[in-house]
Homo-oligomer: A and B are copies of this chain.
């Protein structure tokens, strides 16, 4: 059973030292012994809180804030009288420090007696397996990885070191997961891709005999589904971040450092470059390719390959329903309207001709 963490408590100096390990430019101004017990937003922070200013939009909240210390950029820190951690990227500093304030209980450690672990599975040092979890034949789990309660890890799957599978994650057989990967509850990795041949109207299943490869430092959200390849693998690169309820079909390939927000969906065999961002609900049809650094805005649908970095959108603006109805009905007349416009233009130039 999880043990409870002691409530965290740090001096400002300790936090500065922690940050300095990665980003030595951190500078502490003010009371190095100030005690920090919580992270908080600028507007809600009180004594004992560390907060941060990451956007100019909130700058007016800086004056009069009640936090014990603030993470500020060098420019924002100028003239600020309170305790400060000066950092070139306050939001990043906040992200790093957030790890110290994680509230998730530590795992009990070891294999829970109710877990069912195949004798041929190989568990690294300090692997933790939760209650009622099932680990199949030939599974390999790297050192320090924590598998929560009620997970199912199919035969011959591999999970790298330092990973975390929350309760109720399912990996099918033959799924390969890198190091330091976090997978949230309800995610399903390696289910069959949606492949069927049609025989005179009847669907005949194409058995999906590829696998799934997931890189290092990936995060996968709750109830997200990543299907196994039909032939060959579905591939998720390193440091790809994926939100909840995302659908990734068979043989999709996603480049390193790309981000997929909630409810994004990618159809089969589509290839996404590196540093791409799919905003919430963005959709990509199958068998297309997006180059590096493509951003798709929320709910937009991409129907052709894109070979130029940039931001892409589809859809219409929202309006009150009555106005929308008037305009939407015109959408179905658009081609006719355009032709009528063309006719008017033609008529007008004829009129001009006649006048000469």
Interface residue A334 (Cβ < 8 Å from any Cβ of B)? yes
Interface residue A168 (Cβ < 8 Å from any Cβ of B)? yes
Within 8 A of B (CB), among A309-329: 310-321, 323-329
Report the separation of the CA atoms of residues A344 and B315 in the bound assembly, to the nearest whole angstrom.
28
The oligomer's copy count stands at: 3
- Assuming the contacts A170-B168, A207-B101, A280-B267, asked whether A192 and B199 have C-beta atoms less than 8 A apart, the reply is no
Specify which chain B residues have a CB less than 8 angstroms from the CB of A312 in the assembled complex: 318-321, 324
Q: 15 A-B contacts, Cβ less than 8 Å apart? A: A4-B137, A4-B155, A4-B156, A94-B206, A130-B134, A188-B222, A196-B259, A205-B219, A227-B244, A281-B283, A297-B321, A304-B318, A311-B321, A312-B319, A312-B320
Interface residue A21 (Cβ < 8 Å from any Cβ of B)? no
Inter-chain contact B225/A2, CB cutoff 8 Å: no
Interface residue A10 (Cβ < 8 Å from any Cβ of B)? no
Interface residue A249 (Cβ < 8 Å from any Cβ of B)? yes
**Chain A 205-242: CB-based contact to B (< 8 A → 1; otherwise 0):** 11101010000010101110101000110000001010
Report the separation of the CA atoms of residues A242 and B204 in the bound assembly, to the nearest whole angstrom.
13
- Assuming the contacts A103-B174, A303-B318, A319-B332, asked whether A134 and B132 have C-beta atoms less than 8 A apart, the reply is yes
Interface residue A253 (Cβ < 8 Å from any Cβ of B)? no
Interface residue A302 (Cβ < 8 Å from any Cβ of B)? yes
**Chain A 230-268: CB-based contact to B (< 8 A → 1; otherwise 0):** 011000000101011101010000000101011101010
- Count chain B CB atoms within 10 A of each CB in A3, A40, A99, A167 and give the residue with the most: A167
Inter-chain contact A330/B335, CB cutoff 8 Å: yes
- Interface-lining segment among A26-34, A76-84, A145-153: A145-153
Given contacts A1-B118, A243-B249, A280-B283, 12 further A-B contacts (CB under 8 A): A44-B231, A130-B134, A188-B222, A203-B259, A225-B262, A243-B247, A247-B263, A281-B301, A310-B321, A315-B316, A323-B335, A344-B348
